[in-house]
Structure 1
Amino acid sequence: MADEKMDRIERAALARYQKLQQDRKREAAAAAGPETMDVRRSVINPHDSLAAERIIHRSDLFPIAYLEAGLIAAKSVCRISLRNHQGQIKGYGTGFLISPSLILTNNHVVDSYDTALNAVAEFNYEDDVNFMPRTIVPFRLEPERLFITDEALDFSVIAVQEKGLSGARVSDFGYLPLLPMPGKILEGEYVSIIQHPKGGPKAVTVRENEVKFLSDHFVHYASDTEPGSSGSPVFNDQWIVSALHHAGVPDPADPTKWIANEGIRISSILHHLHGERGKLDAAGASLLDGVLPEAPIPDSPAAPIEVGELAADWYNDAGGYDPAFLGEGLNVPLPPVKDAADVAETLDGGKELDYTHFSIVMSRSRRLAYYSAVNIDGSQLVEVKRSNDKWYFDPRMAREFQSGPELYARNDLDRGHLTRRQDPNWGRDAVQANAHTFHFTNSAPQHKGLNQKTWLSLEDYILENAGANGFKVNVFTGPVFRDDDVVYRGEFRIPAEFWKVAVMAKEGGALSATAYLLTQRDLIGDLEFAYGPFQTFQVPLALLDELAGIDWSALQPHDPLANVEGAGARLIAGRGDIRL
């Protein structure tokens, strides 16, 4: 029965391969275009300067750390030992950890709850440098905690025992995170596969495995794999999992030979898992949240803040906010700060810090940004993974005007991005823009209860409209500095309110400038100092001019609330309340 199932899988793989082969013959431009390359670049470590050259076959050079990264990735790969109820071996496959508690393999390896119940994940089944076997570390699978499988995409996700009989913990073997965006691998690139061929010791095929075709759910590549390799991770050059290996493509002229291999795209698996989450109990959903990209990033306020330093040349091409970004005749300059003497200067005498696609104006007295200003190009947005939470001081401004770990460490204050991490991530510089958002200059202390759903929904609404309609938008964000802000640790005053202004061109070419305020104050009634839950209001720009100490007079004629008699604050309970 298992052989018949595998035959069906291989025949389907061959049919897909042949169809793609025919399609490519009809397509003159099969090579990846610039937009696809931008997405591919988004998952490249910016310090790997030769990565793009490898992608387009102009270089075979790797940093030596490539080998070390492969060894780290290999720790999470295990042999799946399949057994019957009596404990007798029935066969082998490969799997790998995708969270500290979950393993991913093929459906045709572990196709049912009962099969999973009798299976064992064996880590460390490999030889050392002297070709001596290492000690195998086994863990039982625990489908009663979580078991999700799909025959069409040929994958299974199964919970694994967290502590084995030997006392070892499965978390000691790390895990391979799954990234949701497509484009982690391109046709013509090369992949590596870590596997247990024929159930034997761990082995690897390194890079000389060309990707032939990509389709909606599958990847075809020329590679060396064996039975037992089913369920192996397929890596790109950055050791990011791009596919789940599941079948060979048989040669139609000689069924004993293979012309390629096929894997299932990770983006397709994640999409399916997202749809399954609602069917799980609370415990199962919690386990799956460790894999799904929509899961919140865990952040312990008590954890030490990792501070990094970017090389000076990272700023060379940072053009900053572009006032002419929206088009001819739609110039939107940076708004002046009313207290000009309080604007912190850069070391070379400038008034703003320019980053990739955004700029920041800093306050000397508050050691925080007066505001950030970002250009968003909805037609070129690139999804860039959040690889870590390392934050940076800006070497172009005196440290005395920047607030770092001395403000944010060991408390419940979030380091809230003013220019949101995703907003400047567009075009060829998306990766650099993402890194630039992690500057302390782009951060403001926000209590963990402040990031209310409506405020986040507002940010999403602005970004999604830019993406969906392919238009451009300028977004300004900053805190409200009040004299009665709470003093913290004897030197920092914590802003209790934040504002945002979105500027875009409407149909016909006229500007629209809308202002929003996140506050605990009751802006609709007369209870000016009656504090309650944080709420988001759309407010006239004239009010924001007064509250934020920023001169918005140039944009006030373009405010949809400006000419409405009696217009005041409008409570934003949902997207339908926003007036553009």
Structure 2
Amino acid sequence: MIRDQAGHLIAQIERSDFATAGATVWTGRLEASSITLSLRRGDAQTELEIRAAIADAGSADGSEAFSLQGKEATWRSVYPTTSILERETAETVGILVDNTYAEPPESSPDSRASWCCSGVMVGSDLFLTNWHCAGPKQRWDGEVLQNAVIDLAWEKSSVRRQFSATDVVAKDVELDYAILRVRQAIGLKGGRTIFPARISRDPLIEFEPVSLIHHASCRPKLISDKCRVQSTMRHAWTDPQGTSGKYPELTHDCDSEPGASGGPIFDAKGRLIAIHHLGHQKVASAMCPADRVNKAVKISAIMAHVRETKPGVADELGW
């Protein structure tokens, strides 16, 4: 039994939640400044250990500098909202919080690296985010998957819609995407049926109005909606000179910050057209010229790759 500082029960973990002896499981987000654990109906062989935790440090200090069009961010909180379309669109979006053992000096062998990204539900139990959201080691290994916590209600909602990741069913470095299989987080109930994002099959149009829903700087759910597509033909981030002749990305001017990676871009009808993955190239290099546009991977390019490499997943998603 997990309780907050006032003694309220906020999560309950069952013996069946542990598939094997010595297993590690993650709860969903626990809204409390401190917690206590008590063991009921255990026996002499039962041991419970808190091996790791992630604490939310709160909002950043407001010193954004990553990929804003002006001096101040133009995004706003998604809630309160009176638009049914905006509300239903936002409910498909979530934050991914993860951590892994860093590669520290010998003086701090237990050091861990933590990070957050954004993403969107594309199936009832499939969450789309960036490939690079695997963290500093840039690989979706067992530890990263085991430690991933996904929350579709990081906005002070009374309904808990939190999940853990069980598998990566499709991914690609060039298109910077990963699709995670998820299941309801241990110890929490609520949220029930997940309605995935609707996907646009229409051709992209330059300068069409769009919105980006995201968790910049790990904040509660935000929307950047005073923005437009800039170009519909952008080369892949792994091909900075555009020598391949492929253009799987688009550019946009929606304000974003670290944490917005993987955030979905929607058209005016609330349909998914791309996932954000890169900000401004502020300093020119031999390979990449400086620019002031954000980059996103087209959902059409991701769908085509899944159909080619993971036809079973494509069939499941109706792609």
* Distance in 2 (alpha carbons) for counterparts of 1:68 and 1:109: 30
* Distance in 2 (alpha carbons) for counterparts of 1:99 and 1:188: 29
* Distance in 2 (alpha carbons) for counterparts of 1:190 and 1:159: 31
* Distance in 1 (alpha carbons) for counterparts of 2:117 and 2:222: 13
Question: Which SS does the other structure have where 1:201 is aligned?
Answer: coil
Q: What do residues 263-313 of structure 1 show as CA deviations (whole Å, max 9, x unaligned)? A: 0001100000001225xxxxxx2x5423133xxxxxxxxxxxxxxxxxxxx
Deviation at 1:188, TM superposition (A): 1.4
Question: Which SS does the other structure have where 1:98 is aligned?
Answer: strand
Contact persistence 1:196–1:203 (CA under 8 A) = yes
Q: What do residues 37-69 of structure 1 show as CA deviations (whole Å, max 9, x unaligned)? A: xxxxxxxxxxxxxxxxxxxxxxxxxxxx99211
Aligned to 2:232: 214
Deviation at 1:253, TM superposition (A): 6.8
Aligned to 1:437: none
Question: Which SS does the other structure have where 1:112 is aligned?
Answer: coil
**Root mean square deviation of aligned Cα:** 2.9
* Distance in 1 (alpha carbons) for counterparts of 2:88 and 2:151: 17
* Distance in 1 (alpha carbons) for counterparts of 2:260 and 2:291: 14
Does 2:215 match 1:196?
Answer: yes
Does 2:122 match 1:98?
Answer: yes
Aligned to 2:301: 268
Question: Which SS does the other structure have where 2:220 is aligned?
Answer: coil
Contact persistence 1:120–1:140 (CA under 8 A) = yes
Larger proportion of strand:
2
* Distance in 2 (alpha carbons) for counterparts of 1:176 and 1:290: 15
Question: Which SS does the other structure have where 1:124 is aligned?
Answer: coil
Taking structure 1 as reference, are residues 78 and 155 closer, same or farther at Cα in structure 2, changes over 3 Å only? same
Q: Which runs of 4+ in 1 moved over 3 A?
A: 85-89, 133-137, 251-255
* Distance in 2 (alpha carbons) for counterparts of 1:195 and 1:218: 18
Taking structure 1 as reference, are residues 243 and 87 closer, same or farther at Cα in structure 2, changes over 3 Å only? farther
Aligned to 1:229: 260
Q: What do residues 300-354 of structure 1 show as CA deviations (whole Å, max 9, x unaligned)? A: xxxxxxxxxxxxxxxxxxxxxxxxxxxxxxxxxxxxxxxxxxxxxxxxxxxxxxx
Does 2:199 match 1:175?
Answer: no
Taking structure 1 as reference, are residues 117 and 289 closer, same or farther at Cα in structure 2, changes over 3 Å only? farther
After superposition, residues 497-508 of structure 1 pair within 5 angstroms as none
* Distance in 1 (alpha carbons) for counterparts of 2:176 and 2:162: 24
What stretches of structure 1 of length at least 5 have no aligned partner? 1-64, 128-132, 279-284, 294-580
Q: How does the TM-score come out when normalised to structure 1?
A: 0.34
Q: How does the TM-score come out when normalised to structure 2?
A: 0.60
* Distance in 1 (alpha carbons) for counterparts of 2:198 and 2:314: 12
After superposition, residues 394-433 of structure 1 pair within 5 angstroms as none
Percent of aligned pairs sharing the same letter: 21
Deviation at 1:234, TM superposition (A): 0.2
75, 81, 92: which one pairs with 1:76?
92
The one-letter code matched in structure 1 to 2:305 is H
154, 160, 169: which one pairs with 1:125?
154
Taking structure 1 as reference, are residues 212 and 138 closer, same or farther at Cα in structure 2, changes over 3 Å only? same
Question: Which SS does the other structure have where 1:271 is aligned?
Answer: helix
Taking structure 1 as reference, are residues 277 and 66 closer, same or farther at Cα in structure 2, changes over 3 Å only? farther
Structure ranking higher on relative contact order (CA contacts 8 Å, 6+ apart): 2
After superposition, residues 382-393 of structure 1 pair within 5 angstroms as none
Question: Which SS does the other structure have where 1:267 is aligned?
Answer: helix
Question: Which SS does the other structure have where 2:292 is aligned?
Answer: strand
Deviation at 1:76, TM superposition (A): 1.3
The one-letter code matched in structure 1 to 2:87 is L
Question: Which SS does the other structure have where 1:95 is aligned?
Answer: strand
* Distance in 2 (alpha carbons) for counterparts of 1:167 and 1:89: 29
Q: What do residues 137-157 of structure 1 show as CA deviations (whole Å, max 9, x unaligned)? A: 4210011xx431100000001
* Distance in 2 (alpha carbons) for counterparts of 1:265 and 1:197: 20
After superposition, residues 278-297 of structure 1 pair within 5 angstroms as 278=311, 285=312, 288-293=314-319
Q: What do residues 230-287 of structure 1 show as CA deviations (whole Å, max 9, x unaligned)? A: 00000110010000110012234799x9611110001100000001225xxxxxx2x5
**Number of equivalences:** 211
Contact persistence 1:190–1:237 (CA under 8 A) = yes
Contact persistence 1:97–1:176 (CA under 8 A) = yes
What stretches of structure 2 of length at least 5 have no aligned partner? 1-80, 102-109, 234-246
* Distance in 2 (alpha carbons) for counterparts of 1:249 and 1:223: 11
Does 2:140 match 1:112?
Answer: yes
